[in-house]
A and B are shown apart, each in its own frame.
Chain A
Amino acid sequence: MRTFKRVAIPILFLAILVGVNTVCSYLLIPYTFTRYKLHTIETETFDDLILGSSHGATNIDPAYVSHVTKRSAFNAAQGEEFPVDSYFFLKDAVTAGHAPGRVIYEFDPNYWITAQEVDSTFSGLFGEMRMSGTKIQYFFAKMWKADFRTFCAPWYFYREQWSLIPENLEVKRSDVYRNYGIEIFDTDTQTLEQDGFMAIHPGKWNDQIVPREWSEAMLQKDARKFFAMLAEYCGRMKIDLVVVTTPIPDETLRACADSGDAVPCGTVRFSLSGFYVGTASFGK
Chain B
Amino acid sequence: MSFVSVEFLAFTAICTAGYYLIPKRAQWVWLLIFSYIYYLVQGPQYIFFILFATAVTYLGGLWAESGSKAAVPVTLLLDFGMLAAVKYTNFMIGNLNGLFGTEIREMRLLLPLGISFYTFQATGYLLDVHWKRVRAERNPFRFALFLSFFPQILQGPIGRYGRLADSLYAEKEFDMERILRGLYRIAWGFFKKIVIADNAALYVNTIFDNYATLRGYGILGVLMYSAQLYGDFSGGIDVVLGIAEMLGVSLDENFRQPYFAVSITDFWHRWHITLGTWMKDYLFYPISLSRWMGRFGKWCKTHMGKSTGRAMPICVANVIVFLVVGVWHGPAWHNIVYGLYNGLIIGISGLLAKNYREARKRLGIGKDTRWFYIFQILRTFVLVNISWYFDRAGSVGQAFMMMKDSILHFAFSINVVDAGACWSGSQTVTFCAILIGCAVLFVHSVMEERGVSVGEALCRKPLPVRFAVLLLLVLSLVLIGSEPLSQGGFIYANF
Contact = CB atoms under 8 A, between A and B. Distances in A.
Interface of A: 5-6, 9-10, 12-13, 16-17, 20, 117-119, 143-153, 155-157, 159-160
A143 B6 contact: yes
A118 B470 CA distance: 26
A118 B5 contact: no
6 contacts: A13-B470, A147-B4, A148-B4, A149-B481, A157-B483, A160-B429
Given A16-B471, A17-B474, A150-B484, A145 B425 contact: no
Interface in B424-448: 424-426, 429
A147 B488 contact: yes
Given A6-B463, A10-B467, A150-B484, A159 B5 contact: no
A95 to B, nearest CB: 23
B7 A144 contact: yes
Contacts of A144: 5-7
Contacts of B453: none
Nearest to A12: B467
Of A119, A149, A153, A159, chain B has the most CB atoms within 10 Å of the CB of A149
A117 B429 CA distance: 21
B471 A13 contact: yes
Given A17-B471, A147-B5, A160-B426, A9 B483 contact: no
**6 interchain residue pairs of minimum CB distance:** A147-B484, A13-B467, A156-B478, A153-B478, A9-B463, A118-B484
Max count, chain B CB within 10 A of own CB: residue among A5, A146, A155: A146
Interface string B129-156: 0000000000000000000000000000
B68 interface: no
Contacts of A152: 6
A149 to B, nearest CB: 6
B102 interface: no
Contacts of B426: 160
B205 interface: no
Contact of B479 (A12, A117, A147, A156): A156
Contacts of B483: 118-119, 156-157
A149 B425 CA distance: 16
A151 B484 CA distance: 12
Contacts of A155: 478
A146 B471 contact: no
A175 to B, nearest CB: 31
B210 to A, nearest CB: 19
B477 A149 contact: yes
Contacts of A156: 478-479, 481, 483
A212 to B, nearest CB: 17
B487 interface: yes
A155 B477 CA distance: 12
Given A6-B176, A9-B463, A149-B477, A118 B487 contact: yes
B414 interface: no
Contacts of B7: 144-145
A119 B484 CA distance: 8
Contacts of B67: none
A151 B8 CA distance: 13
